[in-house]
Amino acid sequence: MTDDAHTAPRGVGVVVVAAGSGARLGAQVPKAAVRLAGRTLLARAVERVLAVDGLSCLVLVVPAALAGPEHWDLGELPAHAAFVAGGAERTESVAAGLAAVGEDCDVVLVHDAARCLAPTEVFDRVVAAVRAGADGVVPGLPVVDTVKTVDADGFVTGTPERTTLRAVQTPQGFRREVLIAAHAGGKVATDDAALVERTGRRVLVVDGDPMAFKVTTRDDLERAERLVAGA
């Protein structure tokens, strides 16, 4: 083993973005503060993140007014956990969280608190694929519906071949410097992989998990409640 291998950072940083409003859920509180069978969505998500192999930095990106542990029933957090105020767009929230990730992390994962039931195994799978050499890694599932692209008037402009499509989830993982460079462009996207793709880097899709679905609507919350209850 070389000296470099001894000194190279080997930690995993996880940024959990939880600063969204939850308007589509119709909730009176930010979405991540909505309770799922008694515990907040953020607490459910964090519980699974804390078991990630090699976790050395946890950043929770929350609404500015709720930037402290007293607002969330998270239980005991590791000393490296930090709260950061989010921005108006998801991309801004991720950038704020990324700035708080320690340099001891060679891999950074970005996770939506709204995907509160994503199993720890998905995180470990994503980290392993980044460590195996990929610049960026996203969990994804095959698409069951036929997907159309449409123009502004609703007319179909194309039908992508279904076997080439994947519905992607979080956690999305990157080498730390790759994600920093992607966010330095100041562009906005609905996921972090899109920013990395725009820098010309290759992003690998690994197996996602049906449990990593995003709680967006009331129906999603009810589905999550049934799953937690084991129904």
Binding site for ligand C5P (CB under 6 A): 17-20, 31-32, 61, 86-90, 93, 112-114, 214, 216
Q: Are strands 55-62 and 81-85 parallel, antiparallel or unpaired?
A: parallel
In the complex with ligand C5P, which residue's Cβ is closer, 120 or 216?
Answer: 216
Nearest approach, Cβ of residue 41 and ligand C5P (Å): 8
Closer residue to ligand C5P, CB minimum distance, 48 or 106 = 48
Distance in Å, CB of 9 to ligand C5P, minimum: 25
* Secondary structure element (H or E) that encloses residue 109, with its range: strand 105-112
Q: How many CB atoms lie within 10 A of CB 217?
A: 12
Alpha-carbon distance of 20 to 40, in angstroms, equals 14
Residue 72 CA to residue 42 CA, distance in Å, equals 8
When CB distances to ligand C5P are compared, the closest residue is 20
Tokens of 157: 């402009």
**Closer residue to ligand C5P in complex, CB, 106/126:** 126
Alpha helices by DSSP H, listed for 140-217, are 176-184, 192-198
Q: Tokens at residue 22, please?
A: 């939850």
d(Cα 178, Cα 17) in Å, to the nearest integer? 19
Residue given tokens 């720890």 in the structure block: 120
**Nearer Cβ to ligand C5P, position 17 or 52?**
17
Q: Which is nearer to ligand C5P, 88 or 184 (CB)?
A: 88
CA torsion sign for 204, 206, 209, 212 is negative
Least distance to ligand C5P from the beta carbon of 120, Å?
18
| Min separation Cβ 55 and ligand C5P, Å | 19
Task: Output the smallest distance, CB 91 to ligand C5P, in A.
Answer: 8
